[in-house]
Amino acid sequence: MRRFIKGLFKGHANGFIYGIIMSLFFANIILLSMHWQNTGSKNAVLPRYHFYAIFPGSNDPFWADVKQGIVQAAASSKVAIEFNQLNPGDNVGTLDYLNIARLSQVDGIITQGSGDSQIEQAINEAVEAGIPVVTLETDAKNSKRQAFIGANSYLIGEQAAKLVIQGTRGRARVAVIMSGNAQTDTAAQNSMLNGFLTTLRDAPDAQMVKIYTANPGILNTEEIAQTILRQKNINAIYSVDPLFSVGVAQTVINDNEVGRLTIVGYGISPEIESYIQRGVIYGIVAGNPLTIGSDSIKALLELKEKNHTSSVIDTGITIVNRDTLANYQKKSAALTTGDQT
């Protein structure tokens, strides 16, 4: 068995990967025989399919909500779902799990996309082996993945620019903080920036001042925020990551500069909600992670049972500022509990 696995990995399978594959093999047997069975019931039901999910397991509430959306849709569809969560930007771990999923012959794969050529090749190999693959939030456009599920990047940038224009009364001097994470979908980020800049030009007295690039982490963003604060001609910041927005907000508070900068971001968390309520962050554009999660299950089911699905599934965006925060929180709570009445 070990020799067979090494052959599939072209001789690069180490003991760790071998152990994971063997553990997964036996876990699959147990899962297929026991999952969703009611011990006391004569009508025990086995799962229809075994799907495999790979995406960041950080403290980002976005991915926690994606996971919840997947769990809810999987339960209602009688599908078994196995989660494998990694640190953001862990391309090596993503590659390993994609190979493990293929070798284990799961029924479908859900993963965050990447432009990394090795990950694209691993996705291609899974699809060629008859395993459907869908990507979430960031895409792998050059791969054979069957569907991308997430928000329209251009529209995100467009709506963010409108918030900046609104918050500065059309007199914006903006600094943008982009992601330098290797896992980032560069094409999507460029599309977002294009939407932002195109819309910003609609305001005659608004202009871009500078674009910064940050690696994941609040501390990295705080250093950039300090640099921006020293430039008195900048009165607005647009950050494309929730942790970036938190880092900027914390820096502005620490430097007693609340109110001088209009902060607009992408993505939301309880901490960001608090900053919006307190007037530190002007507003954000957010994706709909619960919908992204549930739609990923729907897409895999369509691929399994109809052999087709939409190649791009736009899950929409939500605009949240101080005026709309209470309504957003009410809707979000209803979605989380499954009570949408």
Domain ranges in the chain are: 2-151+289-315, 153-286
- Give per-residue pLDDT as tens, 74-123: 999 999 999 998 877 788 899 999 999 999 999 999 999 888 899 999 99
Are 281 and 263 contacting, i.e. CB atoms less than 8 angstroms apart? yes
**In whole angstroms, what is the distance from residue 249 CA to residue 60 CA?**
16
Alpha-carbon distances of 220 from 13, 225, 244, 248, rounded to whole Å: 35, 9, 8, 10
What pLDDT was estimated at residue 38? 38
Retrieve residue 171's tokens.
């007199």
* 2-151+289-315 and 153-286 share one fold: yes
Residue stretches of the chain with pLDDT short of 70: 1-45, 58-59, 181-185, 216-217, 336-341
**Fold of the domain built from segment(s) 2-151+289-315:** Rossmann fold (3.40.50)
* Domain 153-286, CATH: 3.40.50.2300
Count of Cβ atoms closer than 10 Å to residue 260 Cβ: 13
- Give per-residue pLDDT as tens, 3-43: 545 555 555 556 655 565 555 555 554 444 444 433 334 45
**In whole angstroms, what is the distance from residue 322 CA to residue 251 CA?**
20
What pLDDT was estimated at residue 33? 44
Tell me the helices (H) and strands (E) count for the chain, helix number first: 12, 12
Retrieve residue 283's tokens.
């507003």
7, with CB counted inside 10 A (0-12, 13-18, 19+), is exposed
